[in-house]
C-alpha cells in the first residue's frame, strides 16, 4: 500500500478525532434517538414526583445522545409496587430505557419484607440523594392547642397518617410515638404527600411527616403559615462520634431533633431497643432518601451513561437553582460509588433490632 496514502489516512483520523468526528463509544451512542422513562413510586404532586420532574428537565442535557425523558408515576403499596415492577421486569425489558426515581425503603431490606420482592442493593444504582424528614401535627391535637413541640405529650387522640404499614414512613412514625409513650391510631394507605396534607387540612388526620421538599412547598404554605399545624421535630441521624445529631439548618429554624424534644419532655435522652431501631432507620433513610435505580441486567453502557449524567448534575448551576426554586432545598447528591458502606450496614443489622422491626410491621 502507498506510504503517502497511509500517512494521509492517519492524519485524517487524527483530525477527525480532534473535531469530535471519531466514532463514539457505545455508552455515548446508546440513548441517541430514544426515550428514557423515569418511574416514580409515589403519586402525582408528591415529593418524589416533584423532584423527578426537575431531573426530567436537566438529565437529558448531560446524557450523550440527549434522549427524551418522561416521568411516569406508579404509586401503590407504600412505594413497593413500582420497585417490584422495575426490579422484576414486569411490563418492561431491562433495556436501559427505564430508570426508577424511587423513595427508597430503609426498612424493607432490613426485615426481608415479602411485599418488596427485590432489594434496593440488587438494582444497578445510578445515584442517590440525601434528605431530612420533619414530623408535624395539627395544633388542635391537644386541648387548647399546642404551643411548643413538647406539648405533644398531652395528645390523647393521635391519628397518624401514612402510606403502608411496612413503609419506612409509617414505621418511623410508630416508633417515635411509642418511644414517647403516646397512644395513637395509624391511618394508612395514602398514595402520596398531597393526599395526606389534604386529609390534614380536613382534620381527618392530625400527625404525620414529610421530606423537606414537600414540607417547604406544601406543608408550610398550607398548614404552618395559616396556623393550622406546627413542626414537632426532625429525625436524628448517627454522627461521626456515634451520637445522635441533626440538621444545623433546621435547628437554626428552631426545629429540634426528636431526641432533643424527648429530653425536654422526660429530662433525659431516649434509650432502649425501639430508640436504637428508630435512630438506625433515620440514619439509613436520610443518607439515601431517593435513589435512581435501574434493572439488574441493564446494559452496562446505559448504566455508565446515566451515572456520568447524574454526577454532572452536581455541577449544573441551572439544575441546582431550579431544584431549589421548586423544592425550597438544595439537592444533596450521592454518587453510586459512595453507597457501598451503606448497603453493607443494611446487610448486617443487629438481630434484636431486626426482630423488633419485623414485629412492628407484623412479620413473624
- pLDDT tens, residue by residue, 32-85: 999 999 999 998 888 899 999 999 999 999 999 999 999 999 998 888 999 999
Please tell me whether residues 254 and 335 are part of one structural domain: no
Q: Is position 297 within any domain?
A: yes
Spatial CA neighbour of 120 closest among 291, 305, 6, 357: 291
Cell numbers placing 24: 463514539
Question: According to the model, what pLDDT value does residue 13 have?
Answer: 41
| CB 275, CB 236: distance < 8 Å | no
What CATH number is associated with residue 257? 3.40.190.10
Q: Is position 159 within any domain?
A: yes
Distance CA 129, CA 291 (A): 6
Please tell me whether residues 279 and 138 are part of one structural domain: yes
Q: Is position 275 within any domain?
A: yes
The span from the first CA to the last CA of the chain, in angstroms, equals 77
Domain boundary among 236, 262, 285: 285
Please tell me whether residues 53 and 78 are part of one structural domain: yes
Please tell me whether residues 255 and 199 are part of one structural domain: yes
Question: According to the model, what pLDDT value does residue 29 have?
Answer: 83
Strands 290-294 and 98-103, bridge-based pairing: antiparallel
DSSP code for 243: S
From the CB of residue 34, how many other CB atoms can be counted at a distance below 10 Å? 15
| Ranges of the chain whose pLDDT falls below 50 | 1-24
Domain boundary among 222, 254, 285: 285
Please tell me whether residues 260 and 318 are part of one structural domain: no
Q: What is the total count of domains within the chain?
A: 2
Spatial CA neighbour of 170 closest among 187, 193, 155: 187
Question: According to the model, what pLDDT value does residue 9 have?
Answer: 42
Question: According to the model, what pLDDT value does residue 4 have?
Answer: 43
Give the orientation angle of helix 340-347 with respect to helix 273-287, to 10 degrees: 150
Read off the pTM. 0.78
Owning domain of residue 302: 16-130+288-361
Q: Is position 11 within any domain?
A: no
Question: According to the model, what pLDDT value does residue 168 have?
Answer: 87
Q: Is position 10 within any domain?
A: no
Domain boundary among 256, 285, 314: 285
Question: According to the model, what pLDDT value does residue 208 have?
Answer: 98
Please tell me whether residues 94 and 180 are part of one structural domain: no
What CATH number is associated with residue 308? 3.40.190.150
Question: According to the model, what pLDDT value does residue 184 have?
Answer: 98
Q: Is position 325 within any domain?
A: yes
Q: Is position 301 within any domain?
A: yes
Cell numbers placing 121: 442493593
Say what percent of the chain tops pLDDT 90.
70
Please tell me whether residues 234 and 278 are part of one structural domain: yes
Amino acid at each position: 500500500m502507498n506510504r503517502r496514502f497511509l500517512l494521509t489516512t492517519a492524519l485524517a483520523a487524527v483530525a477527525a478525532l480532534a473535531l469530535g468526528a471519531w466514532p463514539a463509544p457505545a455508552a455515548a451512542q446508546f440513548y441517541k434517538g430514544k426515550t428514557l422513562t423515569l418511574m416514580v413510586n409515589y403519586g402525582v404532586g408528591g415529593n418524589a414526583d416533584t423532584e423527578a420532574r426537575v431531573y426530567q428537565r436537566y438529565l437529558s442535557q448531560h446524557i450523550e445522545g440527549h434522549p427524551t425523558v418522561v416521568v411516569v408515576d406508579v404509586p401503590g403499596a407504600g412505594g413497593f409496587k413500582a420497585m417490584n415492577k422495575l426490579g422484576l421486569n414486569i411490563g418492561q425489558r431491562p433495556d436501559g430505557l427505564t430508570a426508577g426515581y424511587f423513595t427508597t425503603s430503609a426498612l424493607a431490606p432490613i426485615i426481608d419484607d415479602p411485599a418488596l420482592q427485590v432489594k434496593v442493593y440488587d438494582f444497578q444504582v445510578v445515584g442517590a440523594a440525601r434528605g431530612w424528614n420533619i414530623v408535624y401535627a395539627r395544633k388542635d391535637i391537644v386541648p387548647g392547642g399546642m404551643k411548643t413541640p413538647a406539648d405533644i405529650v398531652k395528645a390523647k387522640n393521635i391519628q397518624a397518617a401514612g402510606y403502608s404499614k411496612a413503609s419506612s414512613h409509617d414505621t418511623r412514625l410508630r416508633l417515635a410515638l411509642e418511644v414517647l409513650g403516646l397512644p395513637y391510631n395509624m391511618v394508612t394507605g395514602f398514595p402520596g404527600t398531597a393526599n395526606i396534607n389534604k386529609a390534614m387540612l380536613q382534620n381527618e388526620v392530625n400527625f404525620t411527616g414529610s421530606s423537606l421538599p414537600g414540607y417547604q412547598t406544601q406543608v408550610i404554605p398550607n398548614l404552618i403559615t395559616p396556623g393550622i399545624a406546627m413542626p414537632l421535630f426532625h429525625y436524628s441521624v448517627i454522627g461521626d462520634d456515634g451520637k445522635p445529631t441533626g440538621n444545623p439548618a433546621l435547628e437554626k429554624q428552631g426545629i429540634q431533633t426528636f431526641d432533643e424534644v424527648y429530653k425536654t419532655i422526660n429530662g433525659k435522652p431516649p434509650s432502649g431497643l425501639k430508640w436504637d431501631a428508630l435512630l438506625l432507620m433515620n440514619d439509613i433513610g436520610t443518607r439515601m432518601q431517593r435513589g435512581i435505580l435501574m434493572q439488574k441486567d441493564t446494559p452496562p453502557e446505559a448504566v455508565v451513561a446515566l451515572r456520568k449524567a447524574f454526577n454532572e448534575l452536581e455541577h449544573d448551576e441551572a439544575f441546582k437553582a431550579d431544584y431549589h426554586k421548586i423544592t425550597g432545598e438544595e439537592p444533596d447528591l450521592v454518587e453510586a460509588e459512595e453507597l457501598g458502606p451503606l448497603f453493607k450496614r443494611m446487610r448486617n443489622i443487629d438481630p434484636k433490632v431486626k426482630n423488633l422491626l419485623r414485629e412492628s410491621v407484623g412479620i413473624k
